[in-house]
């Protein structure tokens, strides 16, 4: 069966520090991968999605970037965090057929 | 542009009563519609989806949803609510040619004993 791993679960970082959040999927190949951000326990904002290695689509211009160095690995990064980057970050995958998304357990990021 | 709306921030219902969480959508193309549930500090769990076929879709934990094309709605329902159903519910939509899933703002369901 397929599983998605996302870490860390909680992260507290100072303003101006770098960020790296990692997500990996097991039990499937060539998945679509997604990064969402959820603010204040409400709506989800799509940040990036990827349909293949090295293929990244950005939805919102911001202080973040994403990379997909391997088929089942998706990384969210920042060179210098801002206070506004705080939030709950969720990684997800779907198959290439365009079905439902399956989410990781999320990372609560607090930028102080 | 595609969008999805959840008009109610919160829905309150007594345990044992039926519940409805509303969702309407706007797309240009064939909609794929989804419902997810989120418990505190957790990721989203998939409940059910409508792709094509029967307008009444059955999903996990006794939930169902009805696709209504003329009203562009996809309301989530359950005949008898449980206290454990209390959570945040999200409706989502994608158009058949798109990889992106667009979420509504979420509806908090509170089931009182």
Digitized pLDDT (tens) for each residue of chain B, 113 residues in all: 788 999 999 999 999 999 999 999 998 888 899 999 999 888 899 999 998 888 999 999 999 999 999 999 999 999 999 999 999 999 999 876 677 888 999 999 999 99
- Which residue from A37, A25, A24, A21 is spatially nearest to A1, judged by alpha carbons? A25
CB contact (8 A) between residue B32 and residue A98: yes
Whether B101 has its CB under 8 Å from any CB of chain A: the answer is yes
Alpha carbon distance A111, A84 (integer Å): 8
| B81 CA: distance to closest CA in chain A (Å) | 22
State how far residue A103 is from chain B, nearest Cα, in angstroms: 6
Structure tokens of B53? 């076929």
The C-alpha of A8 sits at a distance from chain B's nearest C-alpha, in angstroms, of: 13
Cα B1 from Cα B16, distance rounded (Å): 39
The encoded tokens of residue B60 equal 């996990």
For residues B29-63, b (16+ Cβ closer than 10 Å) or e, as one string?
eebbbbbbbbeeebbbebbbbbbeeeeebebeeeb
End-to-end CA distance of chain B: 41
Q: Find chain A residues with C-beta within 8 A of B94's C-beta.
A: 98
Contact A26, A80 (CB under 8 A): no
What are the DSSP E strand ranges found in B1-113? 3-5, 10-14, 19-21, 24-26, 31-38, 44-50, 56-58, 64-68, 73-78, 87-95, 102-103, 107-112
Within 13 Å of residue B77, how many CA atoms lie on the same side as its CB? 12
As a whole number of angstroms, the distance between CA B39 and CA A13 comes to: 25
Provide the 10 A C-beta neighbour count for residue A63. Answer: 13
Q: Which residues of A touch B (CB under 8 A)?
A: 6, 32, 34, 36, 41-44, 46, 49, 51, 57, 59, 88, 90, 92, 94, 98-106, 108
B5 interfaces chain A, CB cutoff of 8 Å: no
Q: How far is A79 from chain B (nearest CA, A)?
A: 26
The pLDDT value given to residue B28: 84
Assess contact for A89 and A37: CB atoms under 8 A: yes
Q: What's the N-to-C CA distance of chain A in angstroms?
A: 38
What is the mean pLDDT, run by run of 10 residues, along chain A of 112 residues? 92 97 94 91 87 89 90 96 94 85 94 96
Determine, for residues A41 and B88 on separate chains, whether the beta-carbon distance falls below 8 Å.
yes
CA distance B38 to B56: 22
- Percent of chain A having pLDDT more than 90? 77
């Amino acid at each position: 069966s397929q599983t998605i791993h996302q870490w860390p679960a909680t992260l507290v970082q100072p303003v101006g520090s770098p960020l790296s959040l990692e997500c990996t999927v097991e039990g499937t190949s060539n998945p679509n991968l997604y990064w969402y951000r959820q603010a204040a326990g409400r709506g989800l904002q799509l940040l990036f999605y990827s349909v293949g290695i090295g293929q990244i689509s950005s939805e919102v211009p911001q202080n973040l970037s994403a990379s997909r160095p391997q088929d089942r690995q998706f990384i969210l990064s920042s060179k210098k965090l801002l206070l506004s980057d705080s939030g709950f970050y969720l990684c997800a995958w779907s198959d290439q057929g365009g079905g439902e998304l399956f989410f990781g357990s999320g990372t609560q990021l607090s930028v102080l | 542009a595609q969008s999805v709306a959840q008009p109610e921030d919160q829905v309150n219902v007594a345990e044992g009563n039926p519940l409805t969480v509303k969702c309407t959508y706007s797309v240009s193309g064939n909609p794929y519609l989804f419902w997810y549930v989120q418990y505190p500090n957790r990721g989203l769990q998939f409940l059910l989806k409508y792709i094509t076929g029967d307008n009444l879709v059955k999903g996990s934990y006794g939930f169902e949803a009805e696709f209504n094309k003329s009203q562009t709605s996809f309301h989530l329902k359950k005949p008898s609510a449980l206290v454990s159903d209390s959570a945040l519910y999200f409706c989502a939509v994608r158009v058949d040619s798109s990889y992106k899933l667009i979420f509504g703002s979420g509806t908090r369901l509170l089931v009182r004993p």
